[in-house]
Chains A and B, each alone.
Chain A
Amino acid sequence: MEPGVLLQRVGAGDELAWEAFVRQHQGRIFGLAYHYLGHAEDARDLAQETFVQIYRNRHRLPDAPGLLPWMLRITRNLCMDLFRRRKARPPAWDIPVEELDHLHAHEEDPGQLLQDQARKALVHRALRELTDLNREMILLKDIQGLTLDDIATLLDIPLGTAKSRSNRARLELAEKLVALGACP
Protein backbone atom coordinates (compact mmCIF):
# COMPACT_ATOMS: atom_id res chain seq x y z
CA MET A 1 0.00 0.00 0.00
CA GLU A 2 1.25 3.47 -0.81
CA PRO A 3 2.28 5.57 2.18
CA GLY A 4 -0.23 8.31 1.39
CA VAL A 5 -3.14 5.87 1.26
CA LEU A 6 -2.03 4.22 4.48
CA LEU A 7 -1.87 7.60 6.20
CA GLN A 8 -5.34 8.46 4.95
CA ARG A 9 -6.76 5.24 6.31
CA VAL A 10 -4.98 5.73 9.62
CA GLY A 11 -6.49 9.20 9.79
CA ALA A 12 -9.92 7.75 9.07
CA GLY A 13 -9.60 5.43 12.07
CA ASP A 14 -8.99 2.14 10.23
CA GLU A 15 -7.59 -0.19 12.90
CA LEU A 16 -5.94 -2.51 10.39
CA ALA A 17 -4.19 0.41 8.78
CA TRP A 18 -3.04 1.59 12.19
CA GLU A 19 -1.58 -1.83 12.97
CA ALA A 20 0.23 -1.84 9.62
CA PHE A 21 1.50 1.67 10.36
CA VAL A 22 2.85 0.59 13.76
CA ARG A 23 4.55 -2.47 12.29
CA GLN A 24 6.06 -0.38 9.51
CA HIS A 25 7.60 2.29 11.74
CA GLN A 26 8.21 0.64 15.08
CA GLY A 27 11.76 -0.46 14.23
CA ARG A 28 12.86 3.04 13.34
CA ILE A 29 11.15 4.71 16.31
CA PHE A 30 12.45 2.11 18.72
CA GLY A 31 15.89 2.32 17.12
CA LEU A 32 16.10 6.08 17.64
CA ALA A 33 14.89 5.82 21.23
CA TYR A 34 17.31 2.97 21.84
CA HIS A 35 20.24 4.93 20.47
CA TYR A 36 19.36 7.94 22.61
CA LEU A 37 18.54 6.13 25.84
CA GLY A 38 20.82 3.13 25.59
CA HIS A 39 18.37 1.01 27.56
CA ALA A 40 15.97 -1.38 25.87
CA GLU A 41 13.17 -1.23 28.42
CA ASP A 42 13.17 2.58 28.59
CA ALA A 43 13.32 2.75 24.81
CA ARG A 44 10.35 0.39 24.52
CA ASP A 45 8.26 2.51 26.91
CA LEU A 46 9.25 5.67 25.10
CA ALA A 47 8.49 4.20 21.68
CA GLN A 48 5.06 3.17 22.94
CA GLU A 49 4.47 6.68 24.22
CA THR A 50 5.51 8.04 20.82
CA PHE A 51 2.94 5.86 19.07
CA VAL A 52 0.24 6.87 21.55
CA GLN A 53 0.99 10.51 20.76
CA ILE A 54 0.89 9.79 17.04
CA TYR A 55 -2.44 8.03 17.50
CA ARG A 56 -3.86 10.98 19.40
CA ASN A 57 -2.83 13.24 16.54
CA ARG A 58 -3.80 10.85 13.76
CA HIS A 59 -6.18 13.41 12.29
CA ARG A 60 -3.30 15.82 11.86
CA LEU A 61 -0.69 13.50 10.38
CA PRO A 62 1.67 15.25 7.97
CA ASP A 63 1.96 14.08 4.40
CA ALA A 64 4.21 11.14 3.52
CA PRO A 65 7.51 13.03 2.94
CA GLY A 66 7.19 14.91 6.21
CA LEU A 67 6.08 11.93 8.26
CA LEU A 68 9.48 10.55 9.23
CA PRO A 69 10.96 13.87 10.45
CA TRP A 70 7.72 14.50 12.36
CA MET A 71 7.83 11.12 14.10
CA LEU A 72 11.54 11.40 14.83
CA ARG A 73 10.95 14.86 16.29
CA ILE A 74 8.29 13.48 18.64
CA THR A 75 10.64 10.68 19.68
CA ARG A 76 13.57 13.00 20.24
CA ASN A 77 11.45 15.46 22.24
CA LEU A 78 10.21 12.65 24.46
CA CYS A 79 13.81 11.51 24.96
CA MET A 80 14.89 15.02 25.88
CA ASP A 81 11.96 15.31 28.31
CA LEU A 82 13.08 12.07 29.91
CA PHE A 83 16.64 13.34 30.19
CA ARG A 84 15.40 16.54 31.78
CA ARG A 85 13.29 14.64 34.26
CA ARG A 86 16.27 12.55 35.18
CA LYS A 87 18.35 15.73 35.25
CA ALA A 88 21.32 13.89 33.85
CA ARG A 89 22.03 12.57 30.43
CA PRO A 90 22.82 8.90 30.77
CA PRO A 91 25.55 7.44 28.64
CA ALA A 92 23.99 6.52 25.32
CA TRP A 93 25.24 3.99 22.85
CA ASP A 94 25.98 1.30 25.33
CA ILE A 95 23.98 -1.07 23.16
CA PRO A 96 25.60 -4.45 22.73
CA VAL A 97 26.44 -4.65 19.07
CA GLU A 98 25.16 -8.23 18.91
CA GLU A 99 21.67 -6.87 19.54
CA LEU A 100 22.02 -4.58 16.58
CA ASP A 101 23.34 -7.37 14.44
CA HIS A 102 20.89 -10.17 14.91
CA LEU A 103 17.90 -7.99 14.37
CA HIS A 104 18.09 -6.81 10.81
CA ALA A 105 20.73 -8.95 9.24
CA HIS A 106 19.36 -10.07 5.92
CA GLU A 107 22.47 -11.65 4.46
CA GLU A 108 22.37 -15.40 4.27
CA ASP A 109 26.03 -16.08 3.52
CA PRO A 110 27.69 -16.87 6.90
CA GLY A 111 31.05 -15.50 5.77
CA GLN A 112 29.49 -12.25 4.61
CA LEU A 113 27.45 -12.09 7.81
CA LEU A 114 30.59 -12.48 9.91
CA GLN A 115 32.37 -9.80 7.97
CA ASP A 116 29.42 -7.46 8.31
CA GLN A 117 29.29 -8.08 12.03
CA ALA A 118 32.95 -7.23 12.37
CA ARG A 119 32.44 -4.02 10.39
CA LYS A 120 29.40 -3.05 12.44
CA ALA A 121 31.26 -3.74 15.66
CA LEU A 122 34.08 -1.42 14.63
CA VAL A 123 31.75 1.36 13.50
CA HIS A 124 29.73 0.94 16.66
CA ARG A 125 32.87 1.19 18.78
CA ALA A 126 33.95 4.31 16.92
CA LEU A 127 30.49 5.84 17.45
CA ARG A 128 30.73 5.28 21.17
CA GLU A 129 33.90 7.33 21.27
CA LEU A 130 32.34 10.39 19.60
CA THR A 131 31.24 13.46 21.50
CA ASP A 132 27.49 13.72 22.26
CA LEU A 133 27.01 16.48 19.71
CA ASN A 134 28.72 14.60 16.90
CA ARG A 135 27.02 11.34 17.81
CA GLU A 136 23.62 12.99 17.58
CA MET A 137 24.46 14.41 14.16
CA ILE A 138 25.53 10.99 12.91
CA LEU A 139 22.41 9.46 14.43
CA LEU A 140 20.07 11.89 12.69
CA LYS A 141 21.87 12.34 9.39
CA ASP A 142 23.61 9.09 8.56
CA ILE A 143 21.60 6.56 10.56
CA GLN A 144 18.07 7.93 10.36
CA GLY A 145 18.66 9.58 7.01
CA LEU A 146 17.17 12.98 7.77
CA THR A 147 18.01 15.84 5.44
CA LEU A 148 20.08 18.75 6.68
CA ASP A 149 16.99 20.97 6.46
CA ASP A 150 15.07 18.62 8.73
CA ILE A 151 17.97 18.40 11.16
CA ALA A 152 18.32 22.19 11.26
CA THR A 153 14.60 22.47 12.05
CA LEU A 154 14.70 19.70 14.60
CA LEU A 155 17.72 21.04 16.47
CA ASP A 156 16.72 24.67 15.92
CA ILE A 157 20.04 25.62 14.36
CA PRO A 158 20.88 27.36 11.07
CA LEU A 159 21.30 25.18 8.00
CA GLY A 160 25.00 26.10 7.66
CA THR A 161 25.64 25.06 11.25
CA ALA A 162 23.92 21.73 10.65
CA LYS A 163 26.05 21.15 7.57
CA SER A 164 29.34 21.99 9.25
CA ARG A 165 28.43 19.91 12.30
CA SER A 166 27.59 16.96 10.08
CA ASN A 167 30.92 17.25 8.25
CA ARG A 168 32.80 17.52 11.51
CA ALA A 169 31.00 14.51 12.95
CA ARG A 170 31.77 12.39 9.89
CA LEU A 171 35.42 13.39 9.96
CA GLU A 172 35.70 12.54 13.63
CA LEU A 173 34.04 9.18 13.03
CA ALA A 174 36.38 8.43 10.11
CA GLU A 175 39.41 9.36 12.22
CA LYS A 176 38.22 7.06 15.02
CA LEU A 177 37.77 4.25 12.51
CA VAL A 178 41.24 4.77 11.13
CA ALA A 179 42.63 4.81 14.67
CA LEU A 180 40.81 1.54 15.40
CA GLY A 181 42.42 -0.02 12.36
CA ALA A 182 39.27 -0.36 10.29
CA CYS A 183 40.96 1.09 7.23
CA PRO A 184 44.50 0.72 5.94
Chain B
Amino acid sequence: MKGRSKLGRYSVATICCGVALAVAWPIDAPSSCFLLAVTVSSLFGGLGPGLFSIALSSLAFNYFFLRRTFPLATEPATYLRFAVFLAAALLITGLMELKRRVEESRNRAEEALRQASSDLARVSRVTTMGELTASVAHEVKQPIAASITNAKTCLRWLAADKPNLEEARAAARRIVEDQTRAAEIIKRIRELFKKGAPQREWVDVNEVIQEMVVLLRSEAAPYFISVRTELAADLPHVMGDRVQLQQVLMNLMMNSIDAMTDVNGTRELTINSQLGENEQLVVSVSDTGVGLPAQQADKIFDAFFTTKPHGTGMGLRISRSIVESHGGRLWAADNSSRGASFQFTLPTKLEVHE
Protein backbone atom coordinates (compact mmCIF):
# COMPACT_ATOMS: atom_id res chain seq x y z
CA MET B 1 0.00 0.00 0.00
CA LYS B 2 2.85 2.33 0.84
CA GLY B 3 4.67 1.61 -2.38
CA ARG B 4 1.93 2.86 -4.63
CA SER B 5 1.51 6.57 -5.28
CA LYS B 6 -1.53 8.52 -4.17
CA LEU B 7 -2.53 9.11 -7.78
CA GLY B 8 -2.19 5.39 -8.51
CA ARG B 9 -4.46 4.45 -5.62
CA TYR B 10 -7.14 6.96 -6.66
CA SER B 11 -6.85 5.69 -10.24
CA VAL B 12 -7.49 2.13 -9.02
CA ALA B 13 -10.62 3.40 -7.22
CA THR B 14 -11.82 5.16 -10.38
CA ILE B 15 -11.17 2.09 -12.56
CA CYS B 16 -12.98 -0.16 -10.07
CA CYS B 17 -16.05 2.07 -10.18
CA GLY B 18 -15.90 2.18 -14.02
CA VAL B 19 -15.74 -1.59 -14.25
CA ALA B 20 -18.55 -1.91 -11.70
CA LEU B 21 -20.72 0.41 -13.76
CA ALA B 22 -19.97 -1.52 -16.95
CA VAL B 23 -20.87 -4.82 -15.32
CA ALA B 24 -23.87 -3.50 -13.39
CA TRP B 25 -25.53 -1.83 -16.40
CA PRO B 26 -26.50 -4.96 -18.38
CA ILE B 27 -27.44 -7.09 -15.34
CA ASP B 28 -29.06 -4.27 -13.38
CA ALA B 29 -27.32 -5.06 -10.10
CA PRO B 30 -25.79 -1.76 -9.06
CA SER B 31 -25.66 -2.40 -5.28
CA SER B 32 -23.53 -5.54 -5.42
CA CYS B 33 -21.21 -4.28 -8.14
CA PHE B 34 -20.54 -0.89 -6.59
CA LEU B 35 -20.09 -2.48 -3.14
CA LEU B 36 -17.47 -4.75 -4.69
CA ALA B 37 -15.77 -1.72 -6.21
CA VAL B 38 -15.76 0.12 -2.88
CA THR B 39 -14.39 -2.99 -1.11
CA VAL B 40 -11.53 -3.37 -3.60
CA SER B 41 -10.72 0.35 -3.49
CA SER B 42 -10.67 0.42 0.33
CA LEU B 43 -8.66 -2.77 0.55
CA PHE B 44 -5.92 -1.66 -1.82
CA GLY B 45 -6.17 2.11 -1.62
CA GLY B 46 -6.99 2.81 2.01
CA LEU B 47 -9.35 5.32 3.50
CA GLY B 48 -9.04 8.14 0.92
CA PRO B 49 -9.57 6.06 -2.23
CA GLY B 50 -12.31 4.13 -0.37
CA LEU B 51 -14.30 7.30 0.32
CA PHE B 52 -13.54 8.52 -3.20
CA SER B 53 -14.97 5.29 -4.63
CA ILE B 54 -18.08 5.70 -2.47
CA ALA B 55 -18.58 9.18 -3.89
CA LEU B 56 -18.11 7.97 -7.47
CA SER B 57 -20.37 4.97 -6.91
CA SER B 58 -23.07 7.15 -5.38
CA LEU B 59 -22.96 9.54 -8.32
CA ALA B 60 -23.10 6.67 -10.80
CA PHE B 61 -25.78 4.86 -8.85
CA ASN B 62 -27.85 8.01 -8.65
CA TYR B 63 -27.36 9.14 -12.23
CA PHE B 64 -27.45 5.88 -14.14
CA PHE B 65 -29.79 3.76 -12.09
CA LEU B 66 -32.08 5.88 -9.98
CA ARG B 67 -32.71 8.68 -12.53
CA ARG B 68 -32.32 6.85 -15.85
CA THR B 69 -33.99 3.56 -15.10
CA PHE B 70 -36.78 5.04 -13.06
CA PRO B 71 -37.00 8.62 -14.21
CA LEU B 72 -40.26 9.16 -12.50
CA ALA B 73 -39.67 6.89 -9.61
CA THR B 74 -41.35 8.10 -6.55
CA GLU B 75 -41.48 5.02 -4.41
CA PRO B 76 -39.38 5.46 -1.33
CA ALA B 77 -38.09 1.88 -1.76
CA THR B 78 -35.77 3.09 -4.52
CA TYR B 79 -34.18 5.68 -2.27
CA LEU B 80 -34.09 3.21 0.57
CA ARG B 81 -32.08 0.86 -1.68
CA PHE B 82 -29.66 3.71 -2.29
CA ALA B 83 -29.40 4.50 1.41
CA VAL B 84 -28.70 0.87 2.32
CA PHE B 85 -26.02 0.77 -0.37
CA LEU B 86 -24.42 3.93 1.00
CA ALA B 87 -24.42 2.62 4.58
CA ALA B 88 -22.89 -0.72 3.52
CA ALA B 89 -20.23 1.04 1.47
CA LEU B 90 -19.30 3.34 4.34
CA LEU B 91 -19.17 0.40 6.75
CA ILE B 92 -16.85 -1.54 4.45
CA THR B 93 -14.50 1.39 4.03
CA GLY B 94 -14.49 1.91 7.79
CA LEU B 95 -13.76 -1.76 8.47
CA MET B 96 -10.96 -1.84 5.92
CA GLU B 97 -9.38 1.22 7.49
CA LEU B 98 -9.66 -0.41 10.92
CA LYS B 99 -8.03 -3.60 9.62
CA ARG B 100 -5.20 -1.58 8.07
CA ARG B 101 -4.52 0.26 11.36
CA VAL B 102 -4.53 -2.97 13.37
CA GLU B 103 -2.06 -4.52 10.96
CA GLU B 104 0.16 -1.48 11.08
CA SER B 105 0.31 -1.43 14.87
CA ARG B 106 0.96 -5.17 14.94
CA ASN B 107 3.88 -4.73 12.58
CA ARG B 108 5.23 -1.95 14.75
CA ALA B 109 4.86 -4.15 17.85
CA GLU B 110 6.64 -7.03 16.17
CA GLU B 111 9.47 -4.79 15.10
CA ALA B 112 9.77 -3.43 18.64
CA LEU B 113 9.78 -6.96 20.04
CA ARG B 114 12.56 -8.01 17.69
CA GLN B 115 14.57 -4.98 18.72
CA ALA B 116 13.88 -5.61 22.41
CA SER B 117 14.95 -9.23 22.34
CA SER B 118 18.18 -8.41 20.57
CA ASP B 119 18.84 -5.64 23.11
CA LEU B 120 18.03 -8.06 25.89
CA ALA B 121 20.49 -10.60 24.59
CA ARG B 122 23.20 -8.00 24.93
CA VAL B 123 21.97 -6.72 28.27
CA SER B 124 21.88 -10.25 29.64
CA ARG B 125 25.50 -10.72 28.63
CA VAL B 126 26.52 -7.41 30.15
CA THR B 127 24.55 -8.10 33.35
CA THR B 128 26.27 -11.42 33.81
CA MET B 129 29.53 -9.57 33.27
CA GLY B 130 28.50 -7.03 35.88
CA GLU B 131 27.92 -9.81 38.36
CA LEU B 132 31.30 -11.17 37.44
CA THR B 133 33.20 -7.93 37.92
CA ALA B 134 33.61 -8.47 41.65
CA SER B 135 35.03 -11.93 41.21
CA VAL B 136 37.23 -10.78 38.36
CA ALA B 137 38.65 -8.10 40.64
CA HIS B 138 39.41 -10.79 43.18
CA GLU B 139 40.88 -13.05 40.54
CA VAL B 140 43.29 -10.30 39.46
CA LYS B 141 44.06 -9.29 43.03
CA GLN B 142 45.31 -12.78 43.78
CA PRO B 143 48.33 -12.84 41.40
CA ILE B 144 49.05 -9.19 42.17
CA ALA B 145 49.27 -9.93 45.89
CA ALA B 146 51.49 -12.91 45.15
CA SER B 147 53.78 -10.86 42.93
CA ILE B 148 54.18 -8.10 45.53
CA THR B 149 55.20 -10.70 48.08
CA ASN B 150 57.59 -12.30 45.62
CA ALA B 151 59.13 -8.94 44.71
CA LYS B 152 59.78 -8.15 48.35
CA THR B 153 61.22 -11.62 48.86
CA CYS B 154 63.50 -11.04 45.90
CA LEU B 155 64.69 -7.73 47.39
CA ARG B 156 65.27 -9.41 50.72
CA TRP B 157 67.56 -12.01 49.14
CA LEU B 158 69.44 -9.29 47.29
CA ALA B 159 69.77 -7.08 50.36
CA ALA B 160 71.60 -9.74 52.34
CA ASP B 161 75.27 -9.17 53.17
CA LYS B 162 76.04 -11.82 50.63
CA PRO B 163 73.11 -11.70 48.20
CA ASN B 164 71.64 -15.06 47.30
CA LEU B 165 71.20 -14.74 43.55
CA GLU B 166 69.73 -18.18 43.05
CA GLU B 167 66.88 -17.50 45.45
CA ALA B 168 66.40 -13.99 44.11
CA ARG B 169 66.16 -15.43 40.60
CA ALA B 170 63.57 -17.98 41.75
CA ALA B 171 61.49 -15.19 43.31
CA ALA B 172 61.77 -13.12 40.12
CA ARG B 173 60.60 -16.11 38.09
CA ARG B 174 57.57 -16.37 40.35
CA ILE B 175 56.81 -12.69 39.70
CA VAL B 176 56.82 -13.37 35.97
CA GLU B 177 54.42 -16.25 36.52
CA ASP B 178 52.11 -14.13 38.69
CA GLN B 179 52.01 -11.26 36.25
CA THR B 180 51.49 -13.59 33.31
CA ARG B 181 48.41 -14.90 35.01
CA ALA B 182 47.12 -11.41 35.81
CA ALA B 183 47.62 -10.42 32.17
CA GLU B 184 45.86 -13.59 30.99
CA ILE B 185 42.85 -12.85 33.14
CA ILE B 186 42.61 -9.31 31.82
CA LYS B 187 42.97 -10.56 28.25
CA ARG B 188 40.09 -12.98 28.74
CA ILE B 189 37.87 -10.28 30.19
CA ARG B 190 38.55 -8.07 27.21
CA GLU B 191 37.59 -10.91 24.91
CA LEU B 192 34.35 -11.43 26.77
CA PHE B 193 33.42 -7.78 26.40
CA LYS B 194 34.31 -7.61 22.73
CA LYS B 195 31.35 -6.84 20.58
CA GLY B 196 30.97 -7.47 16.93
CA ALA B 197 30.48 -10.03 14.22
CA PRO B 198 31.10 -13.65 15.19
CA GLN B 199 34.64 -14.68 14.49
CA ARG B 200 35.05 -18.22 13.27
CA GLU B 201 38.31 -19.94 14.02
CA TRP B 202 39.57 -23.32 15.14
CA VAL B 203 38.88 -23.48 18.87
CA ASP B 204 40.24 -25.88 21.46
CA VAL B 205 37.12 -26.41 23.57
CA ASN B 206 39.11 -27.84 26.49
CA GLU B 207 41.09 -24.61 26.60
CA VAL B 208 37.86 -22.57 26.66
CA ILE B 209 36.53 -24.76 29.50
CA GLN B 210 39.70 -24.24 31.51
CA GLU B 211 39.60 -20.49 30.95
CA MET B 212 36.04 -20.30 32.21
CA VAL B 213 36.90 -22.45 35.20
CA VAL B 214 39.64 -19.98 36.14
CA LEU B 215 37.28 -17.05 35.67
CA LEU B 216 34.42 -18.57 37.63
CA ARG B 217 36.45 -20.21 40.37
CA SER B 218 36.07 -17.28 42.70
CA GLU B 219 32.37 -17.11 41.87
CA ALA B 220 32.12 -20.68 43.20
CA ALA B 221 34.55 -20.41 46.10
CA PRO B 222 32.39 -18.23 48.41
CA TYR B 223 29.75 -20.96 48.36
CA PHE B 224 32.31 -23.71 48.89
CA ILE B 225 31.55 -25.24 45.54
CA SER B 226 34.32 -27.39 44.16
CA VAL B 227 34.82 -27.21 40.42
CA ARG B 228 36.00 -30.38 38.70
CA THR B 229 36.93 -30.95 35.09
CA GLU B 230 37.06 -34.27 33.28
CA LEU B 231 38.52 -33.34 29.92
CA ALA B 232 39.31 -35.95 27.31
CA ALA B 233 42.80 -35.53 25.90
CA ASP B 234 43.52 -34.90 22.22
CA LEU B 235 40.05 -33.72 21.31
CA PRO B 236 39.74 -32.34 17.79
CA HIS B 237 39.21 -28.60 17.57
CA VAL B 238 35.90 -27.12 16.50
CA MET B 239 35.27 -24.31 14.05
CA GLY B 240 33.51 -21.64 16.01
CA ASP B 241 33.36 -18.31 17.75
CA ARG B 242 35.52 -18.53 20.83
CA VAL B 243 33.74 -15.73 22.68
CA GLN B 244 30.30 -17.19 22.01
CA LEU B 245 31.44 -20.60 23.25
CA GLN B 246 32.81 -18.93 26.38
CA GLN B 247 29.41 -17.33 26.80
CA VAL B 248 27.61 -20.68 26.58
CA LEU B 249 29.93 -22.21 29.16
CA MET B 250 29.64 -19.18 31.40
CA ASN B 251 25.84 -19.31 31.26
CA LEU B 252 25.70 -23.01 32.07
CA MET B 253 28.30 -22.76 34.84
CA MET B 254 26.68 -19.68 36.40
CA ASN B 255 23.32 -21.50 36.37
CA SER B 256 24.94 -24.44 38.13
CA ILE B 257 26.58 -22.22 40.73
CA ASP B 258 23.29 -20.39 41.35
CA ALA B 259 21.54 -23.74 41.77
CA MET B 260 23.94 -24.84 44.49
CA THR B 261 24.24 -21.79 46.72
CA ASP B 262 21.48 -22.98 49.04
CA VAL B 263 21.80 -26.77 49.00
CA ASN B 264 23.16 -28.79 51.88
CA GLY B 265 25.71 -31.49 51.27
CA THR B 266 28.08 -31.85 48.36
CA ARG B 267 28.37 -28.86 46.10
CA GLU B 268 30.15 -29.96 43.02
CA LEU B 269 30.30 -28.50 39.55
CA THR B 270 31.67 -30.90 36.96
CA ILE B 271 32.55 -30.05 33.40
CA ASN B 272 33.18 -33.02 31.18
CA SER B 273 34.33 -33.13 27.57
CA GLN B 274 34.54 -36.16 25.32
CA LEU B 275 34.25 -37.32 21.76
CA GLY B 276 30.79 -38.65 20.94
CA GLU B 277 29.13 -40.18 17.91
CA ASN B 278 29.85 -38.91 14.40
CA GLU B 279 32.98 -37.20 15.68
CA GLN B 280 30.85 -34.75 17.61
CA LEU B 281 32.30 -33.16 20.68
CA VAL B 282 30.10 -33.61 23.73
CA VAL B 283 30.45 -31.19 26.65
CA SER B 284 28.41 -31.61 29.80
CA VAL B 285 28.03 -29.25 32.74
CA SER B 286 26.61 -31.00 35.81
CA ASP B 287 25.89 -29.81 39.33
CA THR B 288 24.55 -31.12 42.60
CA GLY B 289 22.12 -28.24 42.99
CA VAL B 290 18.35 -27.96 43.34
CA GLY B 291 17.74 -29.54 39.94
CA LEU B 292 15.32 -28.50 37.24
CA PRO B 293 11.79 -27.41 38.06
CA ALA B 294 9.49 -30.42 37.83
CA GLN B 295 7.06 -30.46 34.89
CA GLN B 296 8.74 -27.40 33.51
CA ALA B 297 11.82 -29.01 32.09
CA ASP B 298 10.66 -28.24 28.56
CA LYS B 299 10.12 -24.58 29.38
CA ILE B 300 13.61 -23.79 30.54
CA PHE B 301 14.73 -22.99 27.02
CA ASP B 302 11.86 -20.55 26.45
CA ALA B 303 12.67 -16.87 26.35
CA PHE B 304 11.94 -15.06 29.64
CA PHE B 305 11.48 -18.32 31.57
CA THR B 306 13.48 -18.10 34.77
CA THR B 307 13.54 -19.66 38.21
CA LYS B 308 15.90 -17.05 39.61
CA PRO B 309 14.65 -13.92 41.38
CA HIS B 310 16.74 -11.68 39.15
CA GLY B 311 17.12 -13.87 36.09
CA THR B 312 16.39 -12.52 32.63
CA GLY B 313 15.24 -15.88 31.34
CA MET B 314 17.47 -15.43 28.31
CA GLY B 315 20.61 -17.38 29.28
CA LEU B 316 19.62 -20.85 28.13
CA ARG B 317 17.72 -19.47 25.18
CA ILE B 318 20.78 -17.58 23.95
CA SER B 319 23.09 -20.50 24.74
CA ARG B 320 20.93 -22.84 22.69
CA SER B 321 20.87 -20.51 19.70
CA ILE B 322 24.65 -20.12 19.89
CA VAL B 323 25.19 -23.89 19.98
CA GLU B 324 22.75 -24.37 17.13
CA SER B 325 24.49 -21.71 15.06
CA HIS B 326 27.59 -23.86 15.47
CA GLY B 327 25.73 -26.88 14.09
CA GLY B 328 25.33 -28.51 17.50
CA ARG B 329 22.56 -29.21 19.97
CA LEU B 330 22.02 -28.17 23.61
CA TRP B 331 19.68 -30.02 25.94
CA ALA B 332 19.01 -30.80 29.59
CA ALA B 333 20.18 -34.34 30.30
CA ASP B 334 18.90 -36.67 32.98
CA ASN B 335 20.93 -36.51 36.10
CA SER B 336 20.75 -39.84 37.85
CA SER B 337 21.39 -38.74 41.43
CA ARG B 338 20.51 -35.09 41.90
CA GLY B 339 21.09 -31.65 40.51
CA ALA B 340 20.97 -30.76 36.85
CA SER B 341 23.06 -31.65 33.89
CA PHE B 342 23.25 -29.87 30.57
CA GLN B 343 24.93 -31.24 27.50
CA PHE B 344 25.80 -29.78 24.18
CA THR B 345 27.43 -31.11 21.06
CA LEU B 346 29.64 -29.37 18.57
CA PRO B 347 30.63 -30.86 15.22
CA THR B 348 34.38 -31.19 14.77
CA LYS B 349 34.24 -31.51 11.01
CA LEU B 350 33.02 -28.86 8.65
CA GLU B 351 29.69 -30.17 7.47
CA VAL B 352 28.89 -29.86 3.80
CA HIS B 353 25.24 -28.98 3.60
CA GLU B 354 23.50 -30.31 0.57
Partners in one complex: no
